[in-house]
Amino acid sequence: MKANICNTLHTPLLKKNKKPSYVIFVTFGFIVFLMSMLAFIITNQTQNPLEKLERQELARGVAQGVSAKSNSYDFHKVSYNWTDAMFSWQRTAFHFQPQNNWMNDPSGPLFHMGWYHLFYQYNPDSAIWGNITWGHAVSKDMIHWFYLPIAMKPDKWFDINGVWTGSATLLPNGEIIMLYTGDTNNYVQVQNLAYPANLSDPLLLDWVKYINNPVIEPPPGIGLKNFRDPTTAWIGPDKKWRVLIGSKKGKISISLVYKTINFTYFELNDNYLHAVPRTGMWECVDFYPISINRSNGLDTSVNGPEVKHVLKASLDDTKVDCYAIGTYFIENDTWVPDNPNEDVGIGLLLDYGRYYASKTFYDQVKKRRILYGWINETDIASDDLKKGWASLQTIPRTVLFDKKTRSNLVLWPIEEIESLRISSDEYEGVVITPGSVVPLNITQASQLDIFAEFEIESFTSEGNISNDNIDCGKGTLERSSFGPFGIIAIADDTLSEQTPIYFTLSNTSLGFSTTFFCVDETRSSKASEVEKPVYGSKVPVFSDEKLSMRVLVDHSIIESFAQGGRRVISSRVYPTEAIYGATRLFIFNNATNINIKVSIKIWHLNSAFIGPFPFDQS
């Protein structure tokens, strides 16, 4: 029966004597088609960006051959019913972030004519990754910042798809060289040269891109999308400058060395600086010297018998910043780690929390090496679009060699952060019994600088050795004989939202104990869509030391430093109730076999000035 109906309907269209009906039908169909197309165009032009985002499955950046720069939208996650007040509280008070929109990697930090300069990957159009330009800001102290106009835009064929990460080199004659990765019109990663239009301008407002860019293109055997992020250059005894670029070849992660005398023509070394199998693509590589006996930083070109070199890579596959300490052989431009078991990518991290794409520079004024790092959001992109911004930079950290362990770096907030201290509260020798949580009389606990020391008082006859498996586990709810214990930040009165920062031990003899330093975000927010991991690492502790931590709390970011900076954990938290005047601070002991004696000092911190440069003022 259906076949007969089809024949009845369609047969007349095949007959010439039905031409008028044919014309009418075709005309009507054409009109319907045009109206459908018009509706489609209008719908897409007026489409809510959040709806468009929901259809996007591939994380931003991946298609262009760079690491994912935003959390992929998860169709199974439903955004919390955030209010404007909640979003406003999340914005930090003394961490650098743009006025609005997306930010990622720090680039080209330097000091010039009285100003610290920070460039950064920036999307001027949206709170998600894309249209990457170079944002620019200056500061007198790396705490208070002035926004400047965009330094470089993707406006040439060699960077039309993105002005990506780069580094600054200060030449002995005062010139400033900026090498950066450009994503070309064919999505090929190349290295480009830029320089200030006017070196006498303290603000370095205008930048010139070299007319014959790119100066370095991917060599044979290297993927066109696996070749990025040049380092600061260093000069050798042959008067040639060296630059390092991260890449991979097959399953081997590599760091390529290029030499130059003029920064416009480069030669590729025959050998790699270093290579490690199965650690993925190396991004944002960094390479610099550290003194093993002195407490100051070193210019990038320094080498000698009392110098070690740090090789760092940001791992595209796992989104962590790994480093190792070793020896640099200038005669053939190779580097060998001191401990092959802690090589780059399989050993130490700069930060064991939410942290990526870090970059150092040498502060020639205060003779120190300074580390910047990018902290991404851990909510979902639709939340970022609603609040209108995403990401921030850590408080800059000094970088030194650990003279006690002689195997790791110590990272510490720059001393300038102390200028924000307003008032302090101090508690000495507070004894916390097992299973106890002690509230501290701290109000407005959203902006704090906390220093705490912990002493162990064992009271059992069962010995000082625990048979428990010691690590950060699933957080503070997992009790053992000698941990966890520490502080609880960004909490409400009922502890329905909380972020503990804590230690847990294998025994009470610190010089022989396996000690873990951890942050538990599992109860940091009632919002279901945000990531809430447990971060942590083993931390070396010597018998003549007390367990100690320093914690910087700034609304939605917590930076935690253990044992003078041997281990660092950066966290993002998004509470729904523990905000504004409801934010509290606690100390706790959830161990079963020890008392903990705590001495803690808490400074309230003022907000930093971070805003537009006052060009209208003389």
Which of 261, 252, 254 is closest to 218 using CA atoms? 254
Give the distance from CA 526 to its chain's centroid: 24
Provide the pairing of β-strand 397-401 with 421-432. Answer: unpaired
Residue 179: beta bridge partners?
A: 167, 193
Residue 228 CB-half CA count within 13 A: 30
End-to-end, the C-alpha distance of the chain in Å comes to 89
Q: Please tell me what DSSP assigns to residue 216.
A: B
Long-range contacts formed by 341-346: CB under 8 A, 24+ apart: 342/407, 343/276, 344/253, 344/274, 344/276, 344/279, 344/282, 344/311, 344/312, 344/313, 345/253, 345/276, 345/279, 345/280, 345/282, 345/313, 345/315, 346/276, 346/279, 346/322
- 177 sits in which H/E element: strand 176-183
- Catalytic one of 74, 105, 316, 321: 105
Find tokens 């796992």 and name the residue: 318
Which residues make Cβ contacts (< 8 Å) with residue 408, sequence separation at least 6? 325, 348, 402, 540, 566
- 3-class DSSP state for residue 460? coil
Peptide bond into 49 cis (omega under 30): no
Which of 109, 65, 537, 552 is closest to 322 using CA atoms? 537
Amino acid at residue number 605: L
Question: According to the 3-state scheme, what is the secondary structure of 67-123?
Answer: CCCCCCCCCCCCCCCCCHHHHHHHCCCCCCCCCCEEEEEEEEEEEECCEEEEEEEEE
Annotation says 105 is catalytic:
yes
Rounded CA gap, 31 and 408, in Å?
72
Taking a C-beta distance cutoff of 8 angstroms, is the pair 499, 518 a contact?
no
Provide the pairing of β-strand 101-112 with 389-390. Answer: parallel
Find tokens 């104990």 and name the residue: 513
Which residues make Cβ contacts (< 8 Å) with residue 168, sequence separation at least 6? 108, 109, 110, 117, 176, 177, 178, 232, 361
Neighbours of 180 (CB within 10 A): 27
Q: Please tell me what DSSP assigns to residue 463.
A: -
Question: According to the 3-state scheme, what is the secondary structure of 261-313?
Answer: CCCCCCEECCCCCEEEECCCCEEEEEEEEEECCCCCCCCCCCCCCCEEEEEEE
Rounded CA gap, 84 and 387, in Å?
8
- The token pair that represents 393 in the structure block: 């930079």
Residue numbers annotated as active site? 105
